[in-house]
Structure formats: structure tokens, C-alpha cells
Amino acid sequence: MAHYFENDDTLKSNIHESVAIINKQKFVFYTDNGVFSKKGLDFGTRTLLETIDTNQIHGKVLDFGCGYGPIGIYIAHESDAEVHMIDVNRRSLELARKNVNTNHVNVQIYESNLYENVDGKFDYIISNPPIRVGKKVLYQILEQAKNYLKQNGQLWIVIHKDQGAKTTIEFLSQFYSVELKNKNKGFYIICATNN
């Protein structure tokens, strides 16, 4: 079976509607085979979103690896930020577009492998990053985020302790000021500031 980050047009579509209540706000998310967390909102993503204080979020936000869109859609709904959402997986992008319309938010969505189509600098990069791509690509995503963050911009990620949360903190500490913002059922919410 193809990984969720690969494009596999032969994979049979089976669109599923899910409802998620995040910080008392209701969202409808369509998911499908071949996208991450096709059953609905991932617990790690939920923990990340419930940790971020959206009153503090302004300026430009990049949702790296948007999947079917929960991060970018939530941030666009709850803040005044200009939100950009990217993914390498076309089925995810199609669903994210559908979910953006369903939840009535205004964002920019585009295909990008890593940062190849990302332009300019952001105040926040927020991600439940792809783990299955392997450590080398994951670390590339995390290190290169610095090139797309403004001074004092923040990279927020969620990563499970069994997926190397502690070594990821050590890795990030070479390039950023790192804070562990929350821990829930093994999911670590990490904020890395570009200062």
C-alpha cells in the first residue's frame, strides 16, 4: 500500500464526513483513503491545536503538510492570520479545498514538495509533520523551516515520544530556542523560535 504522502491515483476513493469539536468550535472535515488520519481528527493534531493560543496568532501562518486541512482551517477560523496550506499529496489538497469551503474560511492552498513552492517568510509554521518519510526528510523539514520564518517566528510541531520527540528537541535546539509547551498521552507539543 502506498504511504499517505505518496500520490496514488488508483487508490479507491471513500470519502468520509467527520465532525470535530476543537475548543468548543465545530468543524466538518471530509477525509478519504490515502490521506493521513482518514477516520477524522488525529489526537496529536488535536493536542497541538488545543495548546496554541490563537489570540496570539497574527500575520502569516504556514500549515506544512496540511493533509485534509484541520490545522490551517482551525487557525484561519480562530485568528486573523493569513493562512497558507501546503502538501505534496494531491488527494489531501483536494480534500483540504473541499474542507476550506465547507468550513467557510479564507486561505491559500497549494501543492508543494517540501518548501519548493513556498515564498516569503512566515510568523508561524505549524505542523503535524510527516514521520514516515524518515528522519532525514523530517529533519530537513524542521531545519529548513528557519528559512521561511521571520525573526522571532515560531515553528510549532507535534511529535510522539515513540517517534523520537526527545531527539527532535535536541536536533531543533541547534537552530532555535526550543520550548516544550505541552505533553499529552506521549504527544509532545514543541515550539521552536527563530531568534
Ligand X SMILES: C[S@@+](CC[C@H](N)C(=O)[O-])C[C@H]1O[C@@H](n2cnc3c(N)ncnc32)[C@H](O)[C@@H]1O
Contact residues toward ligand X (CB under 6 A) are: 4-5, 36-37, 42, 45, 65-67, 70-71, 86-89, 92, 112-114, 128, 130, 133
Q: Nearest distance from residue 26's CB to ligand X, in Å?
A: 17
**DSSP β-bridge partners for residue 126:** 63, 156
Q: Smallest distance, Å, CB 15 to ligand X?
A: 16
Residue (89 or 154) nearer to ligand X, CB: 89
In the complex with ligand X, the residue whose CB is nearer, 53 or 116, is 116
Supply 7's cell numbers: 500520490
* Nearest to ligand X of 113, 177 (CB atom): 113
Shortest distance in whole angstroms from residue 159 CB to ligand X:
10
Instruction: Give 79 or 112: the residue with its C-beta nearer to ligand X.
Output: 112
